[in-house]
Amino acid sequence: MHKQFGAIALATTLSLTGTVQADPSLQANLEEGKGVIKAFFGDLKGELVKGMKAGGPVSTIATCNKVAPGLAEAHSQMSGWDVGRTSLKLRNPKNAPDAWELAVLQEFEARKAAGEDPMKLVKGEIVEEQGRKVFRMMKAIPTAEVCTKCHGDAIAEPVAAKLDELYPADKARGYKVGDLRGAFTLKKRL
Ligand code: HEC
């Protein structure tokens, strides 16, 4: 899903904190996408909490490593949307942002710096990719306390060792509570 280049914006951009403009399908798609994210995030969080309770962060790394991509795939199939996660500082290089995603991640950082609530940072846009109209959407993922066990700046030694083993190019560390860890990214052909 991160292979597209040169997305061309066709319609006005919709920011949830701004006014709804132009194409009413933007709003409908955004609402639908929010439902897809909610379901995906609910499952992810469930697995994370379960893993942390059962075995702590070291064993839960395996959960994130295997279960997160599997859940993204399952929710993509269930919803008909292309569902994933991305970030400016990656753990798994497979989650690398494409040009559109990179611009939105940077926009989210700027909007957060300008005072917007990180929990509400959302963007939806209709773009053209390879001659087809596509609805694209991202929603920011702020860092919570539990995330710092594996993404913070004081990661316990056995956790860091396991991360080093699985992700030799890991950049997803040093986050503080409230920082933007990344974003959900969704795509649907129109
Ligand atoms: C037990 C360790 C652990 C915890 C706790 C954890 N993560 Fe992760 N996180 C990982 C691993 C491992 C990956 C790589 C998953 C993969 O290979 O796709 C990852 C990947 C991600 C990604 C995908 C982008 C990237 O860098 O590859 C996001 C976004 C993310 N985590 C956010 C969070 C958030 C938000 C929390 C807290 C709610 C959290 N994580 C808690 C281990 C963890």
State pLDDT tens for residues 21-69. 467 788 999 999 999 999 999 999 999 999 999 999 999 998 888 889 9
Query: Using CA positions, which residue lies closest to atom 3 of ligand 1?
Result: 150
Both structure tokens of 128: 């053209």
pLDDT of residue 22: 60
Chain centroid offset of residue 118 CA:
13
User: Is residue 6 one of the residues assigned to a domain?
Assistant: no
User: Is residue 7 one of the residues assigned to a domain?
Assistant: no
What letters, b where the CB count within 10 A reaches 16 and e where it falls short, cover 120-145?
Answer: ebbbbbbbebeeeebbbbbbbbbbee
- What number of other Cβ atoms are within 10 A of residue 58's Cβ? 17
Residue 54 identity: A
Atom of ligand 1 nearest to the CA of 93: 27
Residue 95 has pLDDT above 50, yes or no: yes
Ligand 1 binding pocket includes 187 (Cβ within 6 Å): no
Both structure tokens of 60: 């839960």
* CA–centroid distance, residue 98 to ligand 1 (Å): 19
Ligand 1 binding pocket includes 136 (Cβ within 6 Å): no
Ligand 1 binding pocket includes 105 (Cβ within 6 Å): no
Q: Which domain holds residue 63?
A: 21-189
User: Is residue 14 one of the residues assigned to a domain?
Assistant: no
Chain centroid offset of residue 69 CA:
12
Residue 1 has pLDDT above 60, yes or no: no
Looking at the structure of the chain, the number of domains it has is 1
Both structure tokens of 178: 């409230």
Strand-pair partners of 15 = 123
* CA–centroid distance, residue 12 to ligand 1 (Å): 32
Query: Using CA positions, which residue lies closest to atom 22 of ligand 1?
Result: 85
- pTM of structure: 0.89
Cα of first residue to Cα of last residue in the chain, in angstroms, is 16
Q: What is the DSSP letter of 6?
A: -
Placement of tokens 């990719």 in the chain: 129
Atom of ligand 1 nearest to the CA of 60: 1
Whether 2 contacts 121, CB under 8 Å: no
User: Is residue 160 one of the residues assigned to a domain?
Assistant: yes
Q: What are the pLDDT digits (tens) for 100-128?
A: 999 999 999 999 999 999 999 999 999 99
* CA–centroid distance, residue 85 to ligand 1 (Å): 9
Query: Using CA positions, which residue lies closest to atom 17 of ligand 1?
Result: 65
How far apart are alpha carbons 101 and 130 in whole angstroms? 17
